[in-house]
A = this chain, B = another copy of it.
Amino acid sequence: MNEMFERFAIAPNLRFPVAATTFQHTFPNGLVLLAERMEHVRSIAVNFLIPAGCSRDPKGREGLAGVLAEMITRGAGQRNSRELMLAFDNLGIDRHESVGVHHMRFWGSTLARNLPAALELFADVLRRPHLPEQELEPTLELSLQDLRALEDEPASRLMVELRRKLYPWPLCNDHRGTLEGLQAVTREDLLNHHQRYFRPSGTILSVAGSFDFDTLRDQVERLFGDWGGTADPMPPCGPEPSGHGHVNKELEQTHLTVSYPSVPFGDPDYYNALAAVQVLSGGMGARLFMEIREKEGLCYSVSASFTPQKERGYVVGYAASRNERAQRTLDKMIHEFERLREGVTAEEVQRVQVGLKTSLIMQQESTSARAGSLASDWYNLGRVRSFDEIQTAIEGLTPESIAAHLERHPPREYRIVTLGPAPLRLAP
């Protein structure tokens, strides 16, 4: 089960080759280890994906995963909360937790020599957290504050509403939870949730930087080999949401999104879908920026993004615009979505290719970007894409391939979600 992919790709006209070696090992308990050895770096990035995202929050306990992510570092193994924080600090680890829809993520980076000590701390946190009763109240208080602060953050608040309009329960859950959900959380809930979802099967550990793979695999085996069990599956999804959404706020600006369904991560049309959105929003010369921001000054921020997930994908356009100009901004954005179907030029495709290839190559210089990509590829595709594969796919893009994609998946079924003093309407 121990595979090794040797990568040694030379991009044309580049002074240095891309030299990296990718390793993968699945332990008998289901834990997946992915590792990329990067030459000439002294740092190491570590990334854990645990199948305990907020889509696993039980009904009536919305926010539980978020509370657990905050509580789990408050003492673990032989260390109390303070000792644990200090142990991380003593390794110079820039550590983070986040709660996504599918996964709770723990990541950090430090100097390569600190990898063994860092993994020991992470093993304590993930497997032996204390979840101490006395920490629950301040933790819940923080979670409540985080939830309330949403009301003062229009762009974030809008994104919460957007998820509710694009995804069925429980995929629409937000990591901040709900007031009722948070107020109901007990220590018992946290213990149960940890027990159910912090399991090796479904967990992905990815590492990028400077390491010796055999040593790394042996250490991971020592720390996680006797971990057992399988995380509970996500409950079946509820009905699909429908209609547009609006959050009423008396603000200076209207924040708006308009979305349409696109393809998921592993789809054969993935790169074409990505390229079409880059034509709209990749770079300063891209269509949305030029047409909406530069020519008309309709809004300071305007962008479109392709948000592919394992099961489905959307294109989401976003802008924040003065209230009286918001409807025109929305209309123009939809006009640009529609205009894609009239075709993209060879120059646009070339520019998109340059942009995608440049960021692909530059990503190779960042250990944390690489660690994140390894895990994301594995979860979404069940494998790690090689540099060559991605580069070849980018080089294969043409105006024709993008047009054919837009025939198969035309912008349609727009979902408009707004936040501001009044909703906007879809032009007839």
Partner-B contacts on A (CB < 8 A) = 13-16, 18, 39-43, 73-74, 81-82, 85-86, 88-92, 94-95, 109-113, 135, 137-142, 145-146, 148-149, 151-152, 154, 210, 251-253, 282-286, 289-290, 293-300, 320-322, 347, 350-351, 354-355, 357-359, 361-362, 364-367
Within the assembled complex, what's the spacing in Å between the Cα atoms of A109 and B361?
A: 12
**Also in contact, A361 and B111, with CB within 8 A (given A81-B294, A88-B284, A210-B15):** yes
**Oligomeric state, in copies:** 2
Q: Quick check: B285 and A138 within 8 Å, CB to CB?
A: no
A150's closest neighbor in chain B, by CB?
B252
| CB<8 Å pairs between A and B, sample of 7 | A111-B358, A135-B294, A145-B299, A145-B321, A146-B300, A149-B300, A366-B366
CB-defined contacts of A282 to chain B, threshold 8 Å: 89
A41's closest neighbor in chain B, by CB?
B365
Shortest Cβ distance from residue A360 to the other chain B in the assembled complex, whole angstroms: 10
The 9 A-B residue pairs whose C-beta atoms are closest, nearest first, are A138-B297, A92-B358, A141-B297, A40-B40, A85-B285, A89-B283, A86-B285, A85-B284, A89-B285
Most-contacted residue by chain B among A42, A109, A253, A282 (CB, 10 A): A42
Shortest Cβ distance from residue A164 to the other chain B in the assembled complex, whole angstroms: 20
Within the assembled complex, what's the spacing in Å between the Cα atoms of A228 and B13?
A: 36
Question: Could you list 9 further interchain pairs (A-B, Cβ under 8 angstroms) beyond the known A16-B210, A92-B357, A149-B320?
Answer: A15-B42, A42-B362, A85-B284, A89-B282, A89-B285, A90-B351, A109-B362, A142-B293, A365-B366
A323's closest neighbor in chain B, by CB?
B148
Within the assembled complex, what's the spacing in Å between the Cα atoms of A286 and B283?
A: 39
Shortest Cβ distance from residue A44 to the other chain B in the assembled complex, whole angstroms: 10
CB-defined contacts of A13 to chain B, threshold 8 Å: 113
Within the assembled complex, what's the spacing in Å between the Cα atoms of A18 and B284?
A: 35
Partner of A42, one of B16, B151, B285: B16
